Amino acid sequence: MTPAELPVMLRVTASLDRWLEFSDGRVIAHSGRVELGQGLRTAMAILVAEQLEVSIDRVTVPDPTTASAPIEGVTAGSMSMEIGGAALRQAAAWARRLLIQRAAARLGRRVSDLVVRNGEFMIGGEPTGVDYWQVAGDGFDFDIVEPTAERQSDEYPERLRRVDLEERLRGGAFVQDAAADLHARVVRPPSIFHRLVECEATLAEPGRLIRRESFIAVAHPDESAAIELAAHVAARCQWRRLQPFSSAFPDDSVDNALAIVDGALTESKALNVETEMTASYSRPFLLHGSIGPSAAAACFVDGRLTIETASQGIGLLPGVIGRALEIDAGSIHVEYVPGSGCYGHNGADDAAFDAALIAVACPGEKVLLKWSRQDEHRFEPNGSMMRLGMGATVRNGRITAWSHEVASYTHVARPSPGAEGIDLIGAWFAGVGEASTPVPRFAAETDMHRNAVPLYTFDEAAVSAKLWADPPVRTSALRGLGAQGNVFAIESFMDEIAHANQLDSIVLRRRHLDNDLRAIEVMDAAIELAGGLDGARGFGIARYKNRQSIAAVVAEVEVDEETAAVSVRHLWIAAYAGRVIDHDGLIHQLEGGAVQAVSWCLKEAVSIDEGGVVGEDWEGYPILTFSETPIVDVMLIDDRDAPPLGAGEVTVGPTSAAIGNAVFAAAGIRVRDLPMTPEALRRAASA
């Protein structure tokens, strides 16, 4: 590894102290990546303990703050272990090298004479009385420019208690539980397209009414009273819609589509590939469905703003909120406090801005701002709807031509200091910022075209993408971005091609995987784990972002003949994610992605009318229940010689396709439009 190949965030950090502290016999390891329930802090602790040769019980990985942790962007894209873990691992290796050098100098011995045992230096098997904490001193000078060789354990524990569970189980660990002087609620309009006409409400002390153009909020020392005040004010507000509602679907033409070459969009037009067999697929708008609505706390004292938030990008918020509220970003301190877990961009950033704006209006008092369930369903960013057109030509059992056209709204609209606009709805209503204009994102495997390039090799292929403008709801990052829709279409279409040409679908896949031995290994492992594909079973496979982990999924379903209801009974997953650091944590990631995909495939879809999002609760937007969750078996393919790869999003696409293919195996019905509700099955059957 050369310095240029080191994780960027580690190379630009000014001090090793930003990553590691040695205090009172403990190692405090700081990462800019946040714990969303994925077990990240446990895996990070394992890596640090490995490099420093200390017991994991001596390692603490705290939740990050902008004051103490390295700034590592957004915890997203299944990059926490692949990039964030690699950076922290290298920091620990550098720290060990420096500490051994200091200890050798203190003892008057050569570095090669010293051995480390749980942080204590040994010579010839005997303790020296010198340890890490004695030689760490006041910290480190970060002046090493060459990478440091890393230690590698032969194996990691398969069973390890999550380091974050005790604090959560004891209660009070979430931002929703924060102590506060004032409890606040925002009075919402019907949709993001409405603005305030007038508000005739007035409040008596100790109630507070905060108004800034169309941003209306209330605050009160008592939370129940704040909820009542919000309802009182809402009844006295009048709103108007900025633009008429249209139920028309976007133009599906691809005249201005851009070509995708090696996973990245290009400015050139897509080349046309003539194909004989075609099919179209779609998915609807989707919510994140966080069980706990978003919340944040903020306090503004002497020109300094402190924010407690469950945002996945705490390092980005000072610049964005500072720009909106005209506060110097250096005067804004952001602390990560866990909230309801979320893979993607839910309402956490917006709640942070809401709390900040209210805190500035109520200086000296700590404000706890909570969204309601209705707020979360109606105003959080949605995962974008997608339409996918597929085409293929088959000759002599091989696919000789392939086309894939994906059309969608943007999948990336997170608030960022470098963005054109301010992507926080509170800023829009307060008149201190406008939303950024969505633009095609040309980087490889971003936005709608993530995993649009197939895993397979064909003689001739054309892949293109079209960005729709003006969505009827907010859209931004949801687990996997475009990968779920693209893999659902690719793997369903491979199955369709096989059936239409009387080919075995696995043989067809193997024929076009060429020499991708790892993908073949994962595919075979999943089928072996499931005991074959006979019966009501389907298969799907993908390599996430075409460069990260690989997952293959076999799904077994049941289709009720009378009601046409689909239930997923069993999932079998085989996955390759490089070197496995936290066995249980990785399995939980794979299982969680698969179960969320089941919910997307069977139940979830956002409904919209002129008043905005229709479903304001779990009846209007149903999600998978515990009793409907399938049995999930997972096999991990561990590669000790490879770096760890992100796996939080790899199963959503293969699971979706496996379910669709299983429904076809069970009922002979090809459902191409998600979700696979009884109504969708009846429509597909009649077609």
The per-residue pLDDT for range 104-129, each reduced to its tens digit, is: 999 999 999 999 999 999 999 899 99
Averaged confidence pLDDT in the chain: 89
What pLDDT does 6 receive?
A: 45
Q: How many helices (H) and strands (E) does the chain have?
A: 16, 27
DSSP per position, 352-371: HHHHHHHHHHSTTS-EEEE-
514: left (phi over 0), alpha (psi -120 to 50) or beta: left
Of 528 and 154, more confident? 528
Q: Which of 56-65, 400-409, 607-616 has the lowest mean pLDDT?
A: 607-616
pLDDT(141) > 70: no
* pLDDT > 70 in the chain, percent: 92
Domains and CATH numbers, the chain: 3-167 (3.30.365.10), 175-240+290-379 (3.30.365.10), 482-687 (3.30.365.10)
Of 560 and 13, more confident? 560
What pLDDT does 39 receive?
A: 83
Place of tokens 């918020």: 317
CA 237 from centroid of its chain's CA atoms: 36
pTM higher than 0.85: yes
Query: Stretch 44-72: mean pLDDT, rounded?
Result: 89
Highest mean pLDDT (candidates 30-44, 431-445, 521-535): 521-535
What pLDDT does 687 receive?
A: 83
The per-residue pLDDT for range 338-347, each reduced to its tens digit, is: 998 788 999 9
pLDDT(609) > 90: no
Query: Stretch 303-311: mean pLDDT, rounded?
Result: 95
CB 294 within 8 A of CB 339: yes
Query: Stretch 650-679: mean pLDDT, rounded?
Result: 97
Query: Stretch 215-239: mean pLDDT, rounded?
Result: 96
CB 567 within 8 A of CB 677: no
What pLDDT does 252 receive?
A: 57
Would you state the structure tokens that stand for residue 14, as one six-digit string?
């000014």
pLDDT(287) > 80: yes
CB 210 within 8 A of CB 176: no
In what helix (H) or strand (E) does residue 280 lie, and over which residues does it extend?
strand 277-283
- pLDDT band (50, 70, 90) for residue 139: low
pLDDT(7) > 80: no
Of 679 and 157, more confident? 679
pLDDT(683) > 90: yes
What pLDDT does 503 receive?
A: 97
Closest C-alpha to 473, from 604, 620, 608: 608
- pLDDT band (50, 70, 90) for residue 565: very high
Q: How far apart are CA 625 and CA 111, in angstroms?
A: 58
Residue 206: CB atoms within 10 A of its CB come to: 11
β-pairing verdict for 367-370 and 182-187 = parallel
Place of tokens 């790899």: 650
* Angle at alpha carbon of residue 338, lines to 337 and 342, rounded to 5°: 135
What pLDDT does 140 receive?
A: 67
What pLDDT does 148 receive?
A: 62
pLDDT(271) > 80: no
What pLDDT does 657 receive?
A: 98
What pLDDT does 157 receive?
A: 59
What pLDDT does 514 receive?
A: 87
Q: Which of 59-63, 270-274, 483-487, 611-615 has the lowest mean pLDDT?
A: 270-274
What pLDDT does 248 receive?
A: 66
The per-residue pLDDT for range 229-254, each reduced to its tens digit, is: 999 999 999 999 988 777 666 765 55
- pLDDT band (50, 70, 90) for residue 35: confident
